[in-house]
Structure 1
């Protein structure tokens, strides 16, 4: 969940990285009393995300800067649309400009990409879901952007659920214990509120996993025919997640196999930032001089 406290913490770090001792250029060139008005304008169509993050970049730089966001997160926009407006001391506006843009461009890029995936699975029951393949330190931002695009979030962190993959199972069964017995032991030690998901990469692994009463089975890198067979075999006894080789070209066919969830790291790890621009107009104060 993207909270105001988390936004301020991450944006503050970004601002400190970009101007650790202030913005030397703006402080040198711009009069102290100069006021700037800027407009966030879309240079291509997309889905908006990150309005609160964009505003925080300016507010945390100079609390006198006023930001009005005209487009809600999750709202589609066209080329040329004005998405937000900024007014305040020019030095602060120009200092915060790049950080505000970096965040909102990336978040809107993720939201727009997610919306394309969601559109491809329309008419199916499948949810489009992200993964932990996010930029370190920016997971909450990027996952909020996925929600803005109509997608859903997988577990937020390693602390949120048990998700046993092939390497976990290899270690777990190294002593000769069966997968079913190993998972039953795991289940017996979990709270009733803790979700248990297991990854399989072959059809014959499904029944032993189901016998342990898992909540979700991830069918990893299955062909379309294998996905259909897996859905039929599981028959509602667990949530079915498909993962691996999920692209815009394949996601629709994957969803139509009957799976409940399609997870894709491409929503966040290889997305292109959207082209948004901040057009600035300086309103000079004739009495102001540089200091």
Structure 2
């Protein structure tokens, strides 16, 4: 529900860590084969229909490695791309283009795949009030870009990590000794530590929904793995007192039905952990 993770500092840190992983002590293939001062140009070719994402990042990657590279963005993040479209051109030292190529493609292919899937799913529920959310089911050290891609595709970001929201799920509740104990303990903890964090509580049945409402003082009620009938009844019981989030095994086939139950948000882990990368290439011309 927020994108404050997209800071210049965070993006630069990601790019430098990625270069360290991929380039290390040097791109020996390029160093060996390409004259130091040789120049060249390349274009980013979108090879299948989809939503393009990561162009801004690509420009940052090129300039982070070689500020003299000339990058021309021919499309915008979030734009509908058709097979054969050119997303950008880059020109300058051929060695710099070759060394940055794979990092640019790895990021853009995955980001565009996520944005494309997110866009497709948001279209399925556009006739309802429900908003599509991502989850923490992301690739380690790539979460920032995956959540950015969800936002580009028209979805909304849930909490970024464990530190920016309290989510009391089934195991928290069971270990704490029940819903009331978990909520009261959480409120005490937040007050004691001067933390202003939203609290979301997972519920598995209507009795738990009623108990959460009775305890009160929370911000979101999650309706987990409920049948359509139970979900509609839960929404009726909650009656707008707090926002509702449907979660648990929701697929492309069930998404529309879930949205029509009247929930405010639907979280879909598959947005980031079960997608096909978009086919994109960088070719000299």
Calculate the TM-score normalised by the size of structure 1: 0.91
Equivalent in the alignment of 2:214: 211
| CA–CA distance in structure 1, aligned partners of residues 7 and 83 of structure 2 | 29
Query: Match of 1:8?
Result: 12
Deviations 1:164-221 (CA, angstroms, capped at 9, x unpaired) = 0111111211xxxx63355245335535842111001122111111112221111111
Partner of 2:148: 144
Match of 1:109 among 110, 113, 120: 113
Shift of 1:228: 0.8
1:130-279 aligned within 5 A: 130-173=134-177, 179-180=179-180, 182-190=182-190, 193-213=196-216, 214-279=218-283
Please list the CA deviations of residues 95-122 of structure 1 after superposition, one character each: whole Å capped at 9, or x if unmatched.
1101111001111111111001100101
Residue in structure 2 matching 1:80, options 72, 77, 84 = 84
Contact map agreement 1:181 1:212 (CA 8 A) in 2: no
What does residue 28 of structure 2 align with?
24
Q: Distance in 1 between matches of 2:137 and 2:282?
A: 29
SS, match of residue 190 in structure 1: helix
Q: Deviations over 1:23-75 (max 9, x none)?
A: 11111111222111111111011112111221222222222211122222111
Alpha carbons 1:41, 1:83 under 8 Å: kept:
yes
Counterparts of 1:51 and 1:186, CA distance in 2: 41
Aligned positions, number: 277
Q: Offset of 1:268 from its aligned partner?
A: 0.3
Q: Secondary structure, in 3 states, of the residue corresponding to 1:123?
A: coil
Query: What's the Cα RMSD here?
Result: 1.5
Alignment-derived partner of residue 287 in structure 1 = none
Structure 1 CA distance, aligned partners of 2:190 and 2:96? Answer: 51
CA distance, structure 2, for counterparts of residue 147 and residue 49 of structure 1: 10
Aligned pairs (5 A) from 1:31-46: 31-46=35-50
Tell me which of the two structures has the higher relative contact order, counting C-alpha pairs closer than 8 angstroms and 6 or more residues apart: 1
- In structure 2, the CA distance between the partners of 1:245 and 1:182, relative to structure 1 (3 Å rule), is closer
1:263 Cα deviation after fit: 0.2
**In 1: Cα distance, 2:182 partner to 2:117 partner:** 39
- Residue matched to 2:65: 61
CA distance in 1: counterparts of 2:61 and 2:185, whole angstroms: 49
Distance (Å, rounded) in 1 between the aligned partners of 2:180 and 2:31 = 66
